[in-house]
Amino acid sequence: MRAQFVASEVGNGLRRNLTMTLAVIITVAVSLTLFGVSLLVRAQVDTMKDFWYDKVEVSIFLCADGSDTSSCVGGEVTRAQRDQIRADLESLRPLVVEIYYESREEAFIRFQEQFANSPIVDSVGENALPESFRIKLSDPTQYDVVASAFSGRPGIEQVNDQRQVLDKFFRLLGGLQAVALIIAIVMLVVTVLLIVNTMRVAAFSRRRETSIMRLVGASNLYIQLPFLLEAAVSAGIGALLAVGGLILTKTIVIDQILAPSFQFTAFVGWEAVLAIAPLLLLVGIGLSAIAAFFTLRKYLRV
Amino acid sequence: MILFDNVTKVYPNQTRPALEDASLEIEKGEFVFLVGPSGSGKSTFLRLVLREERPTSGNVWVLGKDLMRLSNWKIPALRREIGTVFQDFRLLPNKTVFENVAFALEVIGKPKSHIRKVVPEVLEVVGLEGKEGRRPDELSGGEQQRVAIARAFVNRPKVLIADEPTGNLDPGTSVGIMKLLDRINRLGTTVIMSTHDAQIVDQMRRRVIELEHGHVVRDQSRGVYGYAR
Ligand SMILES: Nc1ncnc2c1ncn2[C@@H]1O[C@H](COP(=O)(O)OP(=O)(O)OP(=O)(O)O)[C@@H](O)[C@H]1O
Ligand SMILES: [Mg+2]
C-alpha cells in the first residue's frame, strides 16, 4: 500500500467534488453542533438539579399585617402561633432536618443580596417581605406531609415548595432539550443520506479509474480506501467544526452571556464539553463509516 | 492452464444461455482466436476467465484455481496474472502514456523505483518509446491500443485476454497490433483473442474456437476464420 498514492487520490477526489465536499462538511458541522448543544443542555439541567435540589426548602410564610388570605383574618401572626408552629415542626423530625426562622429584616437583606444588580431592589419596601420558617426535608418528595399539616392554619399565609417550581422549570428545559435532540437526529439522518449521495457521485465520476483498477487486480481496500478516507476526512472536518461550535457555546453563550446575568445558579463546567467533544468526533466519523460501508458495497463491487 | 468444464452461463432475467455446456482446454503458451457472430458468447467466455462473471453451472479453472470456489478477496491476485485489452482501449484521458501504464502498477502497490524501471521497458516492447508524455487524445487509435497492451503486459501476466482489440482499427494498423500480440505470445504469455477480423485469423493460422448461440461449434488448431464465409 503506497500511502502517497492514496493520499493524492483522496486530495484529488475532495477537490474534484469540492461543492459536495463543502456540503458534507457543513451539514456534519451543523447537525453535530446541534447534537452537542442538546447534550450540553442536558448536562446543564443536571448541573442545576444538583445545585438546586441541595438548596431547595419548603417555606412557611407567616401572616403579615395586610395579608388577605382567609387564614390571616386574625391579622399579623402572634407570638404564641409562631411558637406552636415551631414546636409542631420539631415534632416532625426526622423528616424535617433543618428549621430556620427568617425574620422580615433578614428576608429583606437576603433579597437585596440576591438581586443586588437588579432594579427591582428599589421597588420593594423594607417591610414588604413576610417572615417565614425555612425547612429542609430529609426526603424532599415528602412535601405533602408538611403541606397538609400546615396549610390553612391560622397565622400561616402560605406553604410553598420550591422544588415544585424548579421541577416545572426543569421539565420545560428538558422538553426543549428533547426537541433539539430530535432535530439533531433528523439532521444526522439527512447527513448520512448526503454522504451516501456524495460517495455515489464520487464513485460514478471515477468509474473509469475504478473499473481499470479492478481489471488490473487492485485489492478492494486499494479501490475503496480513497472513498472511505474522503468521507472520513470531510466528516472529520465537520465534526471538528462542531467541537469548535461547542467550545464557542461554552465560552461565549454560557460563560460570557448567561453566567454573568444569572449569578444565582450554577452552569456546566468544561468537563461536560470534554465529555461531549470526543462523542461528536466519534459520531461524525461513525456516520461516514456507516454511509461508506453501504454505498461501497453497492457501487464498488469486485 | 484454462479449463472450461460443461460451463453454462445464463444472465439474470434472460432465458437463452449466453454460453451453454462449453468444455475446452487452453494450454500454456497457446494463441487462441475466439470467433463467432455477434452475440454468440465470446465476451461472456472472456468475462468468465476473468471471474467478472460466475458460471450458472459447470466449472472454470484458470491458472490452477477453481473459480467457482475462489473467494472474493482472492480475485485481485488472479487478475494480476491476467492482462486485459479491449476494443475501446479504456485509457484514462487525463493521464499521459507513462502515467496510464504506471497506474496499473501503482494500484497494486508496486514501489516507485520498480515503476520507473519497467514502464519504459514495456513501452519499448510495444513501440511507443518517445511518446511517454502524450495524452491519449494526442495518439492514433493504433497507438492508444499499444498503450492499453503495454498496461496489460507491464506486469508480465501469464494470460492476455483481448476482446476484439482491432475492432476499432483500420486493417493496416490492425496488422501492427497483431504482430505485437504475436510477439507477446512468443515471450511466453498465453493469448486469447476474440475477433471478427477474418483476414487476421486466416493469416495467423493459430488455434480457432468458434462459438454460435453459446455453443462451441468448432475447435481447430491452425484454423481459419470460417468455412461458410
Ligand atoms: N450483462 C448481460 N446481461 C444480460 N445479457 C447479456 C449480458 N451480456 C451479454 N448478454 C447476452 O449474452 C449473449 C452473449 O453476449 P456476448 O457479449 O458474450 O456476445 P459476443 O459474442 O461478445 O458478441 P459481440 O461479437 O457483439 O461482442 C447475448 O445474447 C447478449 O445479449
Ligand atoms: Mg463481445
Take residue B92 and report the three cell numbers written for it.
484514462
Contacts of B71 in chain A (CB under 8 A): none
- Give me the pLDDT at residue B139, please: 95
CB A283 within 8 A of CB A32: yes
pLDDT in tens, B116-172: 999 999 999 999 999 999 999 999 999 999 999 999 999 999 999 999 999 999 999
Compute, in angstroms, the gap from residue B11 CA to the centroid of ligand 1: 9
pTM of the model: 0.74
Per-residue pLDDT averaged across A111-121, rounded?
Answer: 73
Using DSSP, state whether A192 is helix, strand or coil. helix
The answer to whether the CB of B40 is under 6 A from ligand 1 is yes
pLDDT in tens, A280-290: 999 998 888 88
Contacts of A216 in chain B (CB under 8 A): 79-80, 84, 103-104, 107-108, 151, 155
- Give me the pLDDT at residue B65, please: 93
Take residue B153 and report the three cell numbers written for it.
503486459
pLDDT in tens, A149-162: 787 778 888 888 77
User: Residues, chain B, total?
Assistant: 229
- Give me the pLDDT at residue A47, please: 85
Per-residue pLDDT averaged across A222-230, rounded?
Answer: 85
CB B111 within 8 A of CB B105: no
* β-bridge pairing B190-194 and B159-163: parallel
- Give me the pLDDT at residue A1, please: 53
Minimum-distance CB partner of B77 among A209, A215, A217 = A217
Per-residue pLDDT averaged across A45-55, rounded?
Answer: 80
d(CA A92, CA A73): 27
- Give me the pLDDT at residue B227, please: 61
pLDDT tier, A301 (very low <50, low <70, confident <90, very high otherwise): low
Q: Where are the alpha helices (DSSP H) in chain A?
A: 3-16, 18-53, 79-91, 104-114, 120-123, 143-150, 162-205, 207-215, 220-248, 259-261, 270-299
As beta bridge partners, residue B19 has B9
Enumerate domains of chain A plus CATH numbers: 2-52+167-299 (no CATH), 55-163 (3.30.70.3040)
- Give me the pLDDT at residue B222, please: 82
Full strand arrangement of the beta sheet holding B31-35: B82-86, B159-163, B190-194, B31-35, B207-212, B215-220
User: Which has more pLDDT, A63 or A214?
Assistant: A214
- Give me the pLDDT at residue B229, please: 46
Q: List CB-based neighbours of ion ligand 2 within 5 Å.
A: B 43
Ligand nearest to the CA of B40: 1
Q: Whose CA is nearest to atom 7 of ligand 1?
A: B11
Task: Name the phi and psi angles at B128, rounded to 5.
Answer: -115, 20
Is A223 in CB contact (< 8 Å) with chain B? yes
Per-residue pLDDT averaged across A164-176, rounded?
Answer: 84
pLDDT in tens, A86-102: 888 888 888 888 888 88
Per-residue pLDDT averaged across A227-238, rounded?
Answer: 89
pLDDT tier, A2 (very low <50, low <70, confident <90, very high otherwise): low
d(CA B61, CA B5): 8
As beta bridge partners, residue A265 has none
Ligand nearest to the CA of B41: 1
Does A218 contact B76 at a Cβ distance shorter than 8 Å?
Answer: yes
Place of cell 406531609: A145
- Give me the pLDDT at residue A36, please: 92
Per-residue pLDDT averaged across A190-212, rounded?
Answer: 88
d(CA B28, CA B25): 10
Does A222 contact B72 at a Cβ distance shorter than 8 Å?
Answer: no
Strands (E), B39-158: 57-62, 65-66, 82-86
DSSP A77: P
CA A109 to chain centre: 33
pLDDT tier, A70 (very low <50, low <70, confident <90, very high otherwise): confident
pLDDT in tens, A266-282: 788 888 889 999 999 99
CA A65 to chain centre: 44
Minimum-distance CB partner of B92 among A1, A208, A215 = A208
User: Which has more pLDDT, A10 or A172?
Assistant: A172
Q: Establish how many alpha carbons lie within 13 A of residue A236's alpha carbon, considering only the half-sphere containing its beta carbon.
A: 7
Does B103 contact A5 at a Cβ distance shorter than 8 Å?
Answer: no
Q: Which residues of chain B have pLDDT under 50?
A: 229
